[in-house]
Amino acid sequence: MKDKIFRYALLIASCLIILLTAGIIYGLISRSIGAFSEFGFFGFITSSEWDSRNDVYGALPFIAGTMVTSILALLFCIPFSLSVALFNGEYFRNKKVSTFVSSVVDLLAGIPSIVYGLWGFYTLRPLLITMGVNDQGFGILLSSIVLAIMIIPYASSLSTEFISMVPNELKEAAYSLGATNLEVISSVSLPVAGSGIFASYVLAFGRALGETMAVTMLIGNTVNIPASLSDTGNSMASIIANQFGEASGLKLSSLMAIGLLLFLITACINFVAKYIMKMVNK
């Protein structure tokens, strides 16, 4: 009897998750129809014009800003997060120093995004101005650096877990054949934990795509497609945060359409990542 109750409880929880996702999709689509009807789906995502006075809206600058900052953040994140993962999961596994580093990484994961935004504004922005990146310091580079710091804890923590799960028998076999520590990591640990590490970076990338407050404070909030790291721009999340409160009519529908596009981009990235992981594990 208890097994049946537990099984039904799990079934209900699973169905609620599906219904919740369906409800989110329905809500976004129903509120976005006005924009897609007015501009067309492809017309909306390929237009770079955002004119509130004339009620003409396009999502291309925000899609570009989101993808550029997120990809750059992931590229900045990879060397640092992988180094931390190897430090905690391989070289100093179960040591006091590893426990301390893991605690610091977990602390970084718990810091609110607005705190990262304030730190980037008052600490990194003057540094970029001094370096001559641009006159005000805002832009793609600043937001990407802060985003990278924000997603390092997610990527490194999960990667550490997967690296530490590599069977010791495989490592000992490699050591018995005369392999060095570096050779064991490159030939055993990373290949075995590769799919898990890849999944951790997909999760970190998804976190970067949806970040709102820090990016809103640092990206510059201009409606243009960034052509260089020193350019300002806007992300899909930041344009919604900036203009949602005052939006109505077609503008509100356009913002909801941008939210739907952000949802679809995140979903597509996750589906592609799962497919790649499935192919790798075969």
Q: What is the pLDDT of residues 228-243, one digit of tens each?
A: 888 888 999 999 988 8
Q: Quote the pLDDT of residue 146.
A: 93
Q: How confident is the model at residue 1 (pLDDT cuts 50, 70, 90)?
A: low
Dist CA 162 CA 166 (whole Å): 7
Q: At which residue do the structure tokens 């109750």 appear?
A: 5
* Cβ neighbours, 10 Å, residue 22: 10
DSSP of 53-114: TTTEE--HHHHHHHHHHHHHHHHHHHHHHHHHHHIIIIITTTSHHHHHHHHHHHHHHHS-HH
Q: At which residue do the structure tokens 């990542």 appear?
A: 273
Q: At which residue do the structure tokens 């804890």 appear?
A: 153
pLDDT above 90: residue 143: yes
pLDDT per residue over 145-178, tens digit each?
999 999 999 888 888 888 888 888 888 888 887 8
Q: How confident is the model at residue 280 (pLDDT cuts 50, 70, 90)?
A: low
pLDDT per residue over 183-237, tens digit each?
888 888 888 888 888 888 988 898 898 888 889 899 988 888 888 888 888 999 9
Q: How many CA atoms lie within 13 A of 226 on its CB side?
A: 27
Q: Quote the pLDDT of residue 282.
A: 61
Dist CA 19 CA 9 (whole Å): 15
Q: What's the token pair of residue 29?
A: 């689509």
The more confident residue out of 237 and 89 is 237
Q: Quote the pLDDT of residue 72.
A: 94
Taking each helix axis from N to C end, the angle separating 140-164 and 60-86, rounded to the nearest 10 degrees, works out to 40
Q: How far apart are the first and last CA of the chain?
A: 38
Average pLDDT over residues 74-80: 93
From residue 270, how far is each of 202, 207, 209, 229, 255 by CA, in Å?
Answer: 7, 12, 12, 27, 23
Q: Quote the pLDDT of residue 244.
A: 86
Residues 206/270, Cβ–Cβ less than 8 Å: yes
Dist CA 238 CA 153 (whole Å): 22
Percent of the chain topping pLDDT 70: 98
Torsion of CA 147, 149, 150, 155, to 10 degrees: 110
Average pLDDT over residues 11-27: 90
Q: Is pTM, for the whole model, over 0.75?
A: yes
Q: How confident is the model at residue 105 (pLDDT cuts 50, 70, 90)?
A: confident
* Cβ neighbours, 10 Å, residue 89: 25
* Cβ neighbours, 10 Å, residue 175: 15
Residues 35/254, Cβ–Cβ less than 8 Å: yes
Q: What's the token pair of residue 114?
A: 């607005």
Average pLDDT over residues 56-61: 91
Average pLDDT for the chain: 87
Q: Quote the pLDDT of residue 222.
A: 87
Please give the DSSP secondary-structure letter assigned to residue 244: T
Q: By C-alpha distance, which of 126, 144, 145, 143 is closest to 135?
A: 126
Residues 237/216, Cβ–Cβ less than 8 Å: yes
Contacts of 156 (CB under 8 A, 6+ apart): 80, 81, 82, 84, 85, 88, 105, 200
